[in-house]
Structures are given as C-alpha cells and as structure tokens.
Structure 1
Amino acid sequence: MRRRPQGRTAGLALLLAGALVLAACGGGGGDGPSQGEQGTGEAEQPRIRVGLVYDVGGRGDQSFNDMAYAGLEQAKEEFGDRVEVQDAEPDAGGQNREDLLRTFAHQGYDLVIGVGLLFTDPITTVAKEYPDVKFAIVDSCPEEPLDNVACLTFKEAEGSFLVGAAAALKTRTSKIGFVGGMKSALIERFEAGYRAGAKYVNPDVQVLVDYAGTTGEAFSNPTKGRELALAQIRQGADVIYHAAGATGKGVFEAVKQEGKLAIGVDADQSLTAPDYADVILTSMVKRVDVAVLDVIRSVVEGDFQPGLRQYGLKEGGVGYALNDKNRPMIEDITAQLDEIKQKILEGQIQVPERPGDV
C-alpha cells in the first residue's frame, strides 16, 4: 500500500483527481484492462502507467513540451499495450504543478514525470510523500538525492556551441543575438555555449543578449520575444538564437518580418514551426523525447535508476538540426560544424557553461 501524505486525507486526494483535468495522451482512456489483468498469454505482464505534467505553455509550444510529448508517443509505439500514458497541463501560471503530480501519484501511476526546472520543489515534495512511486524530472535535480527520482539533464552548452558557430559563420554584420526565456542557470548554459561557439569562429563577433523575464511566464510570452528580437535587429543582429519556449514564436515573427535568420531550440523547429521554416537556419536540438522514452523504458524493463542522467553530444542528446528544409541554408558550413563537434567529443574544445567564463 502506498503511504498517504501526512495531513491529507484520501478524500481530498480523490477530490483533486476529480477536479483536475488530465488530458488523455493515448492508451489511458480507462476502458482497457487494469494493471495485471491484460492479455491472455502465459507470460502476462503488468501495464505500466505513466503520467506526465508539462511546463507552462503546454503542448503546442513547438519546442520543449512538444518534445516531451513525442517521447510519450514513442513509448506507446515501442511498448504498445504494456504502457498506459496520460498527460496534463498546468494552469497559466503553473501554480498547480504540485497538485497535478500528486494526483497522478495518488492514483497509483508507476512513473510520474515533470517537464522543466520549475518542477524541482514540487517533485521533491510529492516524491517524499509517495516513496513507492517513481518520478523523473527534466532539466533539474532535487538538492536532496531521493531514491525514487531520476534527473534527466542535458549538456545544452555543447549543442549551443555548434549553433553559435553556425551563427558566426552566417552573419554578415558580425552581430548576432540571443533571446532567453527565464533568466536562470539553465538558460545561461544555452547563452554560454552560444557565445563561446560564435567567439571560437570569430573572436570579434558581437553577441547581443536579452531575457524575457525571471519567472516561468517568460517561456510563454511571444509578444515579449518579438519585442526583444526587433530591438536586437535594430542594433544590427542578423542571426538570432532563442532558448525561450513558446516565447520564441515572437522571435521567429520578428526575424521573418525583417528578413533575418533565426535559430530554434529543443525541437527541429523548421519542422515543428513550418510557417517560419524559410528563416530558421537550424535548431539546437535537445532530445527531451529520448530522455522521456529512456526513463519509461527503464520502468517497463525493471531497470529504473534514480539520480542524474546526462545527455550531451556523445549520447546523442543535443546537436544541430539538418533536414531537407534547412539544408540549402546551412549545407555550406556543415563540414565546419561537424569538425567542431568532433573536437568537442575528443576534448580539444572545452565548452563553458557560464556566460562569465566566455
């Protein structure tokens, strides 16, 4: 039996379960067999139930959250009826993150995933209340190691180094831009890698930097993204990289309006944001889908390991996007980018993770 949270009755938790909207992602409609009841074969296997809570902006951000959703879809494709997945979106300000996590845990889900660094405290709290439930958090790790929490993190600076090099190779003004979402140590890793990659190619390049805010809402403000990008363009930037979630849509709008180039983030945004494909030079692909699939696989296969998991260039967790849509814009510099990538892998290039170290 799962230990109930102290000070909270089962009735309250069930009321929460009824009040909160959990959007079915597929395979979790409630009509299928319950755990331990599916199948008629000799080697019946329990169905693993996975609940995932997006960050602010939810599905449809064409970036971070959508990559997490892709991981769920890949898990359904790989494991079929062996997994049941359900997703949920927080309210506009994200204040109910903890309630959504707790609802999944109370309902007996085997694995509960929080997408984004702002889940650090909520997952820490709920994971302690439900020690028999496995949890995973993308982009962060509780300060106190917990035996039921896996931390899915990335070497964003490595991938950002490559797109910084691409920006420096493509700029005609020797001025490029960076628009971050919430100013934090995480997003500063994107900035640091981008700066370092650009300076590696051209020590004289100027990198203009702005952040959309200091709270989670900074990842869902396209109007602010547009304003910041237009300001950088007025200062001469002709290539702008965003690490700002849904705020990046505003960056794309400004870049397209002014006939400049953009660099996307997390997903291959020339594919996920096709309206702007003609101005997206490349994207710093951050394979949140791979991390989500990996942690689901570990639970299905009975090999869940708590603690830190890192995904960098070596693990295929980050990189730059190349596809049929953006190939004409970037194919003339791919050999140089691949050479730089190899030098990072071999340790010839040390990528900084803080802007102050560039």
Structure 2
Amino acid sequence: MTLTKTLLGAAAALALTSGAALADPAIIFDLGGKFDKSFNEAAFNGAERWAKETGGSYRDVELQSDAQREQYLRNFAEKGFNPIVMAGFSFATALETVAADFPDTKFAIIDMVVDAPNVRSVVFNEQEGSYLAGIAAAYAAKGDTVSFVGGMDIPLISKFACGYAEGFKSVKPEGKVIVNMTGTTPAAWNDPVKGGELTRAQKSAGSEVVFAAAGGTGLGVLQTAADEGMLSIGVDSNQNYLQPGSVLTSMVKRVDNAVYDAFTQGENLETGINVMGLSNDGVGVAMDEYNAALITPEMKAAIDEATAKIISGEVVVHDYMSDESCPAF
C-alpha cells in the first residue's frame, strides 16, 4: 500500500511538473472586443503571431462587462495558465488582488503600472508617436486648425492629444487643435455614432485633419472624415487601409509586440516596468501603399528629423500623465 501511494504520489507530482512546464499563456481582451481594428486587435495579432511561429496554443476571452475582470483573471490563474496578459489599464484593480493570491503565476498588464513582484507593466510613450502624427497633420492641413477625438476622458487619452498638439504646433505655432472626448465611462470606446457627430462638429469649426484615439469609436471618426472630405489619423493598429486615401497615417502602438514578447518569455516573464517608445519601436506612424499619395517629401523629412531628435533626447515631448497638464493646450 505504501509503495502504491508513493508511486501515485510521484506520478501526480510528475503530472503537475509537466503541466507547469508546458503551461499555455492566456490573454483577456478589454471591452470593444478583439476585432475592434484598434487596441484589442493589435493585442490579438501579437498572440496570433506567437501561435503561428511557435505552434503553441493560448486561451483568450473577451470581456462583456467591467464586473468580469477579476472573475476571468482568477479563473485563468486557477486553471494554471501562465503568463496571463491583460489588454488595458482597467484591469489594474482586479490584478492587484489576483496577483497577490497567485504569486507563482506571471501577469502582464498593458497601459498601466501595477507594483507586484509577479507583474510586468507595459507602458508606452504615446506622446512621442502622437507628436509625429501632429507634424503630419500640420503639413497636410492647408489652414491652421486640426482636431482630436478621444474615447474615455482619462489622462492616458489626453497624453495622445497633448503629444499631437505639440507636434502640430512645432510646425504651426499659432495653430489650433480642437479636442473632444467621447464620454466618461467605458462605453466611450464603442460609440462610432458619437465619434461621427464629434467629427462633423469639428469640421464645422474648421478642422481639416482629425486624430482619433478612441477604440471602436474611432471607426466612426474615420468613416465620417472620409464622407466629409477630411483627412483622419488612425491609432494603435495600422488603420490606413480602412479608408484608403483618407487616412493620412496611423499612430501605431505596438501592443502586438508587447503580447508577443510576454507569450515568448512565458513563465520566465521578466517583471517590472517595460517602457515602449520611439527608441525601441514601441510607437510610430504608419507609412504604406494606402497613404503613400498623402505623404509629401517635406512631411516625411520633418517626421524623420523629429524622430531622430526625440530618440537622441534633443526633443522631449511632454507626458501629460506626469503632471496632468499640457503646454500646447
């Protein structure tokens, strides 16, 4: 009997060890879904790239409500998925609780810092890429007015708006940047009708180029801009293809790389704060066949010059989140 128990114990231990060694990663997408053509979809693309390159498998889930954040996190941790990636800052409170309960599980949160020994916090210098988008808008606009449509009215989105305004005013110091946010709740990420309404109002106020940092709401901005004869700027994923000839560029945020890197490191995920900016290809502006006709040599040269100066430190773009102020507003 003792021998049987010992053998069974050893088998169980081996099974647990094998399971741990081969633990699959998991990702939880934020409200708006993994096919939002923006932030969540960039995260999904990173997970898919990892799966295709490695032949590995992962589990994913799309939130339907804020109340599910801790539930899904805890469920994945209990089932042994490792690491678990969260696409979005709104997971922070739930993660603080769950990470403490599962110290042997690694977690990665995108767009927020959670101080825990088993958490990687991935943040982006969105202001740097947005600065380049502002330069593009300044060269594309015949007049002196452009605009910005944000999703939820939070400091992170003002970070995009501020960088955009700084870049625009580096070319047109007396210019005007109209800034509107869609709302104050998570529903603001998925309201394309409201995005379209704001875009039309901005055009009436003189805007020629609109930058949308609004998740699914931004799809309404891009569509309306195309309908109204304005130029638009996409965000997070490369959205140039959505309205060819109307999307001036997209401020890409390499959320895909953040997910891919986390999945690749697996259970050996390096924790702490990971900052992604222009210097490590974390952000940038998209150039491809869909916007080639809109990018003039002068615009491209100005963007390249600003990129080099930001990377070298000669130009420091203000981070709105550092003091919740913007010198360009």
Counterpart of 2:255 (choices 288, 312, 315) is 288
Task: Quickly say closer, same or farther: Cα 1:328–1:204, change in 2 above 3 A.
Answer: same
Give distance in 2, aligned partners of 1:48 and 1:206: 52
Is the Cα–Cα contact under 8 Å of residues 25 and 266 in structure 2 kept in the other structure?
Answer: no
Q: For residue 174 of structure 1, report the CA deviation from its aligned partner.
A: 1.0
Is the Cα–Cα contact under 8 Å of residues 138 and 168 in structure 2 kept in the other structure?
Answer: yes
Q: For residue 95 of structure 1, report the CA deviation from its aligned partner.
A: 2.2
Task: Quickly say closer, same or farther: Cα 1:47–1:353, change in 2 above 3 A.
Answer: same
Give distance in 1, aligned partners of 2:16 and 2:61: 21
Aligned length: 309
Give distance in 2, aligned partners of 1:99 and 1:74: 27
2:193 is aligned with 1:227 = no
2:52 is aligned with 1:77 = yes
2:128 is aligned with 1:158 = yes
Give distance in 1, aligned partners of 2:75 and 2:168: 45
2:41 is aligned with 1:66 = yes
Is the Cα–Cα contact under 8 Å of residues 150 and 309 in structure 1 kept in the other structure?
Answer: yes
Question: How big is each residue's C-alpha offset from its partner over 1:105-155, in whole Å with a ceiling of 9 and x where there is no partner?
Answer: 11111111111111111111111121111111000012xx21111001100
Show structure 1 runs of 5+ residues with no match.
1-33, 39-44
What is the match of residue 324 of structure 1?
A: 289
Is the Cα–Cα contact under 8 Å of residues 269 and 277 in structure 1 kept in the other structure?
Answer: no
Aligned positions of 1:169-188 closer than 5 A: 169-188=139-158
2:54 is aligned with 1:88 = no
Is the Cα–Cα contact under 8 Å of residues 188 and 353 in structure 1 kept in the other structure?
Answer: no
What is the match of residue 338 of structure 1?
A: 304
2:246 is aligned with 1:246 = no
Give distance in 2, aligned partners of 1:98 and 1:37: 27
Question: How big is each residue's C-alpha offset from its partner over 1:19-51, in whole Å with a ceiling of 9 and x where there is no partner?
Answer: xxxxxxxxxxxxxxx98769xxxxxx9323111
Amino acid aligned to 2:205: Q
Is the Cα–Cα contact under 8 Å of residues 277 and 325 in structure 1 kept in the other structure?
Answer: yes
**Aligned-pair RMSD on alpha carbons?**
1.6
Larger helix share, 1 or 2: 2
Give distance in 1, aligned partners of 2:54 and 2:79: 22
Amino acid aligned to 1:100: Y
2:85 is aligned with 1:113 = yes
Partner of 1:207: helix, strand, or coil? strand
Partner of 2:24: helix, strand, or coil? strand
Give distance in 2, aligned partners of 1:139 and 1:277: 29
Give distance in 1, aligned partners of 2:47 and 2:187: 25
What is the match of residue 27 of structure 1?
A: none
What is the match of residue 167 of structure 1?
A: 137
What is the match of residue 118 of structure 2?
A: 148
Q: For residue 58 of structure 1, report the CA deviation from its aligned partner.
A: 0.7
What is the match of residue 12 of structure 2?
A: none
- Identity level (%): 38
Question: How big is each residue's C-alpha offset from its partner over 1:187-240, in whole Å with a ceiling of 9 and x where there is no partner?
Answer: 111011001000101101110000011121111111111111111011010100
Give distance in 2, aligned partners of 1:35 and 1:319: 43
Relative to the length of structure 1, the TM-score reads 0.83
Partner of 2:135: helix, strand, or coil? helix
Task: Quickly say closer, same or farther: Cα 1:36–1:270, change in 2 above 3 A.
Answer: farther
2:26 is aligned with 1:47 = no
Amino acid aligned to 1:53: I
Relative to the length of structure 2, the TM-score reads 0.90
Amino acid aligned to 1:264: G
Is the Cα–Cα contact under 8 Å of residues 47 and 84 in structure 1 kept in the other structure?
Answer: no
Show structure 2 runs of 5+ residues with no match.
1-14
